[in-house]
Amino acid sequence: MIRGKRETKESEKSFKISPNQYFMLRSIEISELKRRPETDPYPHKFLVTISIGDFIEKYNNLRSGTLVHDVNVQMAGRIHAIRESSAHLIFLDIKGEGMLLQVLANAKLFHSEQQFIDETSVLRRGDIIGITGAPGKSKTGTISIMAKQIKLLAPCLHMLPHQHYGLKNKETRFRQRYLDLMINNNVRSIFVTRAKIISFIRRFLDDRGFLEVETPMMNMIASGAAATPFATHHNDLKMDLFLRIAPELHLKMLTVGGFDRVYEIGRQFRNEGMDPTHNPEFTTCEFYMAYADYNDIMEITETLLSSMVHAIHGSFKIKYHPQDCQGAEVEIDFTPPFKRISMISSLEAELGVEFPPANQLDTPEAGKFLDDLCIQHSVECESPRTASRLLDKLVGKMLEANCHNPTFLCDHPQMMSPLAKSHRTQPGLTERFELFVMGKEICNAYTELNDPAVQRQQFAQQAANRAAGDDEAQLVDENFCTALEYGLPPTGGWGMGIDRLAMLLTDTNNIKEVLLFPAMKPDTTIREQKITSPPNTTGE
């Protein structure tokens, strides 16, 4: 036995054995329980009559030292701590749905002392247990369930991280998210907030007459964004397919078909680098609104985000730590209206130069001009150094990095926006905006290009860029062009990265913190707790 009948003995011995040894001993212990006809450490069911949260809310006003004798409840949770006061009195802390509750196990309340010993001696930290008992408060005023019976529902075979030190190693936290959720109380709140973000977006769009739809995850052509796709193969069709990089073109085809307001929340896949703001698979929301333009979409974006932040945090202003929780704290103000800046004119003011006319930015002369600017200001840009890529890198360093509070970066050149409609008053530019917060892109939107002839020209230019070595350039999608020939009404389109917004609203600075199971490099280390031949735990 690892613990015996005293928690102090468990603590002392736990520090003297390795996690692998603990696993071996605990597995043998559970194997022994399986052999006993009267015990089953993995029962099929336990009837729960009240949750921990509801129990606390219902009985928290009891007086200290009170026991409600005429009430019997059943609840379940995972043991987070065991404190043995005496041979006949044990305190357990259990956790369920993010809530902690004290279990007071007094031998006097059990059917017999032997029952008390049999049911409590097998318990270890991390076990999932079911408790039958009465509501009460300890003499110290702690709301508790006074146990009359404790049943082991699922034993924990591994040694959990020490309560005092917690679990801080990011590799372990992200690879074993279940362990992270068990030990670190703040992690659950991150994903609760993420769920609130998605729920708020759905309600916001549903209330405005938008219809939620689903579009294909696998496509013959990867289109709708500038990104490198993942490839897969369909055996029956004997053809290669791409995981989608964006749902944009399918959603616009639905708008052609008569869905005037349509949206989708779902996963996208891009075969690109991984860093604190990029994961190979991520979640976006895209919506398309017929008879609207990018000015309408900007107003909707302001309303959506400001009301969401206020609903979640109770204020338009939130606190954020750009580096980590130990770093400097900044305030982000989501009070509408958000700041708006024009891309080219703002770059000219920032760099103190005059750019070529917007409708000439894709010429070789403009390409050299942008190349020289990047060299002069130490802006890195990998090959191919096309005018579009050079301008994008310049904007990233000179403008985007300075967008602290929500800022609309507007009116991108046509060469950077093959799916956007040309600006109605500024030749060479488009009616497009991106929303940046703390230097990170949160939204991308534009008045949609709906002229099939112009769209084919834009796709042709993208194909030329791809032939020049730009793997992120879009392919020609003839099905989409054909759909445009049937008539896409004037439309405003919008896309938002859920993960990056969740990072801001949960005060985290690594995308892995807001993804339950982020992409990780293979773990090639041999961990101590992994054993080659685990002991027989089948009871045979």
What is the per-residue pLDDT across 2-29, written as a single tens digit (0 to 9) for each? 444 434 444 444 557 899 999 999 999 9
pLDDT (0 to 100) of residue 3: 43
Each residue's pLDDT tens digit, 316-344: 999 999 887 667 899 999 999 999 999 99
Phi/psi of residue 22, each to 5°? -60, -45
Going from the C-alpha of 307 to that of each of 292, 298, 432, the distances in angstroms are: 21, 14, 23
Taking the mean position of all CA atoms in its chain, how far away is CA 512? Answer: 7
Residue-wise pLDDT for 278-303, tens only, equals 999 999 999 999 999 999 999 999 99
What is the structure's pLDDT at 325? 63
**Confidence at residue 203, expressed as pLDDT on a 0 to 100 scale:** 98
Q: What confidence score (pLDDT) does residue 326 get?
A: 65
Q: Please tell me the pTM assigned to this model.
A: 0.90
Q: Which helix (H) or strand (E) holds 120?
A: helix 113-120
Which residues, including other chains, have CB under 8 Å from residue 216's CB and lie 6 or more apart? 244, 250
Report the chain's mean pLDDT, rounded to a whole number. 91
Q: How far apart are CA 282 and CA 287, in angstroms?
A: 17
Average pLDDT over residues 88-117: 95
- Whether the bond between 337 and the residue before it is cis, its omega within 30 degrees of 0, is yes
Minimum mean pLDDT among 125-134, 215-224, 501-510: which range? 215-224
**Portion of the chain with pLDDT greater than 70, in percent:** 93
Transcribe 302-362 into DSSP letters: HHHHHHHHHHHHSSSEEEE-SS-TTS--EEEE-PSSPEEEEHHHHHHHHHT--PPPGGGTT
Question: What was the pLDDT predicted at 351?
Answer: 95
- Grouping H, G, I as helix, E, B as strand and the rest as coil, residue 464 is helix
Both tokens assigned to 277: 């703001």
CB atoms within 10 A of CB 112: 9
Q: Which residue has the higher pLDDT, 456 or 9?
A: 456
Rounded average pLDDT over 375-398: 93
Residue 333 structure tokens: 């103000």
Examine the pLDDT at 122 and tell me if it is beyond 80.
yes
Evaluated on CA atoms 355, 295, 259, 214, the torsion sign reads positive
Among residues 61, 59, 52, which one has the least CA distance to residue 94? Answer: 52
> Who has greater pLDDT, 8 or 494?
494
pLDDT of residue 537 exceeding 60: no
Rg of the chain over Cα atoms, rounded to whole angstroms, equals 30
pLDDT bin (cut points 50, 70, 90) of residue 355 is very high
Give the pLDDT mean for 423-427.
95
Angstrom CA distances, 516 to 34, 173, 198, stand at 34, 10, 15
Least Cα distance to 319 among 509, 496, 510 occurs for 509
Nearest to 515 by CA among 200, 319, 267: 267
pLDDT exceeds 50 at position 90: yes
Query: What whole-number distance in Å separates Cα of residue 86 and Cα of residue 314?
Result: 46
Residue 474 clears pLDDT 50, i.e. is over it? yes
Residue 459, pLDDT > 90, answer no
Q: What angle do CA 313, 316, 322 make, to 5 degrees?
A: 80
For 248, half-sphere exposure in the C-beta direction (CA atoms, 13 angstrom radius) is 25
pLDDT computed for residue 457 by the predictor: 87
